[in-house]
Amino acid sequence: MTRSTTLGLVLRVIGVLIALGIAVFPLYWMLVTALSSNADLFASSPRLIPDPGQIGVFGTALADGKAIGWLVNSLIIATGTMIVSIGLGIPLGYALSRFSFRGKVIVTIVLLFTQMLPEALMVVPLFSLFRRFGLLDSLAGLILANSAFVLPIVALILKGAIDGIPRELEEAARVDGALPLGILLRINLPLIAPSIAATAVIAFFHAWNEYVFAVTFIFTPGIQPASVGIANFIGELGTPIQTVMAVALMFTLPAVVFYLFAQKYVVGGMTAGAVKG
């Protein structure tokens, strides 16, 4: 190994460590804040090491069961959104990729256009629609709202992945008598599994972190997700910062762990449709 190669390797390692530190520091700072006394929080010099003596703050945050309920609600909403968006995105992406019909280009453009609209712009019409159909203040309504918002990007990613599958495979299956549904289930789905995993992660994270729809459509505290529940700690006279950070850390860690396990599928799935086979 030459000197220049060694120097390049060292610089890359240093760069990776710096990037890792930047990514991990917010989580570490939440832990430090949660495990700090009031005196440490308002001291002139910040505390950089967690105080193990303050570990009881996590027990306090979980004592009344509200935080656990928020996390469970968030899990239900995120999982439901993931299932609905994938279940509808697969046939929609397949139709856009394999079938020719009038208005196909317009449908694709509309799907792209929806990604330019902020959630806040859709709150009022969705609120009116959900009130008419009795979907307000329910987890099912929130799942539908999140699924509607994330479905276009799921369908477009899956369309790109299906575009990369050689049509000869489907033609051979048709010769053997396979129907379009059988071709989709037995040929396309196994080949686009990485893209399905990537879109599942995207849908899950969107619903897990979503706040605007949740705070607008959910009124009952018992069915609020964690993204809204954490905001309830903010009071007029005071805010328990340590408790807020403890719950926020518990809300963040499951998503981080989930992403660490799924990141290879996200990278593989996002690039699956980049080059046609």
What span, in angstroms and rounded, lies between the C-alpha atoms of 17 and 10?
11
Domain segments of the chain: what residues? Answer: 1-54, 64-272
**Which residues contact residue 265 at a Cβ distance below 8 angstroms, ignoring those fewer than 6 apart?**
194, 197, 198, 201
Burial class (CB in 10 A: 0-12, 13-18, 19+), 171: exposed
What's the confidence (pLDDT) of residue 164?
87
What span, in angstroms and rounded, lies between the C-alpha atoms of 204 and 257?
13
What's the confidence (pLDDT) of residue 24?
87
What's the confidence (pLDDT) of residue 211?
92
What's the confidence (pLDDT) of residue 274?
46
**Average pLDDT per consecutive 10 residues, the chain (277 residues; last block may be shorter):** 76 89 88 86 82 85 84 94 95 88 85 82 90 92 93 91 87 84 86 88 91 92 90 72 88 82 65 47
What's the confidence (pLDDT) of residue 273?
47
- Token reading at 1: 């190994």
Alpha helices in the chain (DSSP H): 3-34, 38-41, 56-62, 66-98, 104-114, 119-132, 139-163, 167-175, 180-183, 189-191, 193-209, 212-217, 226-229, 241-272
Query: Which CATH number applies to 64-272: 3.50.50.60, 1.10.3720.10, 3.30.70.1430, 3.20.20.70?
Result: 1.10.3720.10
What span, in angstroms and rounded, lies between the C-alpha atoms of 273 and 159?
8
Question: How many Cα atoms within 13 Å fall on the side-chain side of residue 206?
Answer: 27
Question: Is 154 in contact with 85 (CB distance < 8 Å)?
Answer: yes
Q: Report the chain's terminal Cα–Cα distance, integer Å.
A: 38
